[in-house]
Chain A
Amino acid sequence: MSLLECINHASTAITGFGKGSGKTTLLSYLLQLARRSGPCAIVTIGAENYSAQVAAKLPTRIPVEAGDIVVTSLPYAKASGARFEILDTVAGRVQAGRLIIGRALRPGLVSLLGTEHLSNLKQALATIRQEQWAQSILIDGAVNRLTQVCSLGHLQFIYTVQIDRGNLRQVVAKLQLLNALSKLPVWPPSPGSQQQNEETEGLNTIHLNGPLTSSVLERTVRSDNLHRLQALTVTDFSKVFLSLKELNRLQVSVPLYIHVPFRLIGIAVVVRDLTPQELNQALGPGFQVPLLFNPFQTPAQALN
């Protein structure tokens, strides 16, 4: 399945490992792709950057075309070179004024702004879907907002990452962990499956509401009943704060489940002084998440 087919009719969160991972660039690129099959909405989580952006007078801006749907504040919409018709408002007020769902009427650059209250953002996404204003939704999901992004539900993810020889080992470890997390089974196991038959009978299950860290693992799980435990569950993948080694060791003893499926459709990788073959080799044969190499490299290694 092509990337376009993956993001079409879906809500996709684009997230990266920290600043400078190429998230905004990829977002703009995916927006261009998504438009080919119909109107696209683009939203972001949170409004914490507002003060910094105002101070710098240089908010991050995304190029929009006529027909694109955005969630932003009225002042940002007015300051944009594009013009927006207001389709709806988003409940609550942020420092930068009222939030709107707007439809671009001509091309221009616009800064996105989200809301601190997830329920309001959830409502905005539901409205965009219900009213069929957009065929695809792209969500700028900063890594420090991952838990909130996950709680929006029904999302798929694309990670962005920049790799060179200096950070290769660390990034590979992170990617391998992501690969392992993307394979975690969903709780409860689907009816009729072998796992389901085993697990529903098993009473010895721990459901963790909070994060699964090394110390939590030590305290809650290992302390007395790991050998008797038949399943361990966490809300979603963002709650797992274990190293790959710890995760693998845990799964040898007890299956770990997630309640919200983690649909990782790809990792957009920008490599510097490194060939794709070298990276593939470093990741090893068990790595199954599709890698999208250097979308802006020429000759074009098509993302589409």
Chain B
Amino acid sequence: MDHFLAYAEFASFEQRMKPFTPYGRDYWQELGLITSQAKLEELYDRTAEALNFIQEIGLKSTLFSRITYHLQRLPRFPQAVQDLYDEVELFELKKFLYNYRLLLELLPSKLKEFFHLEFHSEELYSLLDLGPQSREAFFVVDEYSTELAQLRKAIRLNDVRMTELKQATDARLQSLYDLSFGELQFLVVPKSVLGDPEKAREDLSLEPFDSSSYLVRPKMSGEMLTLAEQRRQWEVQERAAENEILRDLAQSVSRELDSLLSYRKQVTELDLALSRAHLALNYNLVRPLLMAPAALDGNIQIEDGRFIPCEEACQERGTDYQPLKARLSSHTTVLFGSNMGGKTITLKTLAFLQLCAQKGLYVPAKQFRTRVYSHLHYIGEVNGAGSMRQGLSGFGFEIAQFRQAFDDFREPTLALFDEFARTTNSGEAQALISAILRQFSNRPQVTAIFSTHFRGILRLPEVCYLRMKGLNHQRLRLSEASSQAGQSDLLERLKLIDSFMDYVLVPDDGLSSVSDAIEIARLLGVDDTITSFAHELYQG
């Protein structure tokens, strides 16, 4: 599967699916291949519902912004019943309930019904929102218990008295020494200001600062010390009272936890559906058509399928991108074609579409008809597969991949072979591919597609043989007669090849030759004397 994902260059597209909630992100990150057709249809239905809703209100509407605002503010919260939830956990629960409730107020009834979004936890929310606290914040407020309120009142009065005493001390020090501490905890004072240090010690605590100054702090009076000690004791009692309240709140939360988890599950479905719909709108994706599992004779059809990494690369390069049209008449297909003719992109497009479909996403195509496979395999070269190769040669690596995949071929599998065995001698390679073809022709549960240059492989009635149409030689000659293409740089040469290449699949009867390689070498700038001689040799 890793090879298949890498081959389809799926990772960067996958990251563009951005669920709004942390639970949606968790789900998406952990999601593997979905192999249940019913589950996929359910996901597509949800996407369709979300898509209808977004199209109704507009992706840039205030309503949609407000919905995503509340979704983004839904935090994680504890999932298990606990004897005690700490303040952070209660904050998370309250913030969830607050945003979830407001979210539901924004959604139309139809959508709420579809996603089973309900809210019956007013009582718990009110309990967590007691007193004068901020709507999304949490604090164990005085209103939870009389004892707590009394303790806090005592602390407040204590603080008031302490401030009065500090002000009185400050005034005294001002009159005695002309010192104003204000909010400062200490001052650096010239020794001369204090006069007799022994006398100053009655009001100030002194530390040496430098040869001419002391660092001085006001001394606490007996009453101040008593107040500070009293405050400390009340703080201890306050914490105990708070913990008692937390335990009571934990019971209320535990009773409601099943409902909370159900809200979270349903809102995750909504989040994912909106995110999939968002992606579908951004990339012009459509719902895949899944064939029934029993319809083993049904085969893949692609109408204007787009391999998004390639489409974007073409946009960057300023070249046209040709979407793929493909209709496979058999579950086993061989695809011939010249170099740079689009064989690999054809396979990659299929891999990309299939991954989208089996991750529950809509697909970049006008239409994509496919089956649900239990396994997806790619057998061939993988870019950057150095560490995966474990010392095997290119051919050895492909064979190892094939051997690993072989057991899966008893179940519904999509297997893509891109120029399998190209690094070994052509005679043996053709024999090997022919043997595998024969094997697959008897396994309708496997959809296998081989791209290859080897024209001598076995022709079997059950196998569909196609080829990329390749260079349009006639148009190329006409164009070259009126241009200086031969002098352009590599990018220009690539653009030229792109513009004369028909990336179209046509049936291959085995008789017509596919021979664009020498022409492509010429277009890429190989010296004319070489390509002309090569052409003569090839023509015999």
Chain A complexes with chain B: yes
Q: Which residues of A contact B (CB under 8 A)?
A: 28-29, 32, 63, 74, 78, 81, 83-87, 89, 98, 100, 103, 105-107, 164, 272-273, 294, 296-298, 300
* Residue contact A89 to B133, C-beta cutoff 8 Å: no
Scoring A81, A105, A298 by chain B CB atoms within 10 A of each residue's CB, the highest score goes to A298
How would you classify the secondary structure of chain A's contact residues: helix, strand, loop or mixed? mixed
The 4 closest A-B pairs by CB, nearest first: A85-B139, A272-B210, A86-B91, A273-B210
Q: A3: shortest Cβ distance to chain B, in Å?
A: 15
Q: Is the Cβ of A32 less than 8 Å from the Cβ of B183?
A: yes
Collect the chain A residues with CB atoms within 8 Å of residue B210's CB.
164, 272-273
* Bound Cα distance from A291 to B320, whole angstroms: 63
Chain A residues contacting B215 (CB-CB under 8 Å) are: 296
Closest-by-CB residue of A relative to B163 is A107
Alpha-carbon distance A272/B179, docked complex (angstroms): 20
Residue in chain A with minimal CB distance to B209: A272
**Are B87 and A28 within 8 A (Cβ)?**
no
Q: Of A29, A81, A164, which is within 8 A of B235 by CB?
A: A81
- The chain A residue sitting closest to B208, CB to CB, is A272
Stretch at the interface among B185-193, B280-288, B382-390: B185-193
Known: A78-B239, A85-B137. A298 touches B179 (CB 8 A): yes
Contact A89 B179 (CB under 8 A): no
Of B88, B186, B215, B242, chain A has the most CB atoms within 10 Å of the CB of B88
* Contact in complex: A83, B139 (CB < 8 Å): yes
Q: Check if A107 sits within 8 Å of B179, measured CB to CB.
A: no
Interface residues on B, range: 35 or more
B513 contacts partner chain A, Cβ-Cβ < 8 Å:
no
Pick the contact of A89 from B88, B193, B242 — CB < 8 Å? B88
B91:A297 contact, CB within 8 angstroms = no
For B209, what are the chain A residues with a Cβ–Cβ distance below 8 Å?
272
Contact of B184 among A78, A86, A89, A296 (CB under 8 A): A296
For B180, give its contact among A32, A100, A273, A300 (CB under 8 Å): A300
Q: Which residues of A contact B232 (CB under 8 A)?
A: 81
A208 and B529 CA atoms in complex are apart in Å by 48
CA distance A32 to B209 in the complex (A): 23
What are 22 A-B pairs with beta-carbon distances under 8 A?
A32-B183, A32-B184, A74-B88, A78-B87, A81-B232, A85-B139, A86-B87, A86-B88, A87-B134, A87-B137, A89-B75, A89-B88, A103-B134, A164-B210, A272-B210, A273-B212, A294-B188, A297-B188, A297-B213, A298-B179, A298-B189, A298-B190
Q: For residue B232, which residue of chain A has the nearest CB?
A: A81
| Interface contact A296-B187, CB-CB below 8 Å | yes
CB distance from B12 to the nearest CB of A (A): 21
| Residue from A29, A107, A272, A298 in contact with B159 in the complex, judged by beta carbons closer than 8 Å | A107
Does B134 lie within 8 Å of A85, measured CB to CB? yes
Q: Which residues of B contact A294 (CB under 8 A)?
A: 188
**Which chain B positions have C-beta within 8 A of A29?**
184
Contacts of A98 in B (CB 8 A): 86, 88
Residue of A nearest to B133 (CB): A85
Known: A81-B235, A106-B155. A89 touches B91 (CB 8 A): yes
B88 with A296: CB separation less than 8 A: no
Residue B170 at the chain A interface, CB threshold 8 Å? no
With A86-B91, A86-B138 as given contacts, are A298 and B231 in contact (CB-CB < 8 Å)? no
Q: Which residues of A contact B180 (CB under 8 A)?
A: 298, 300
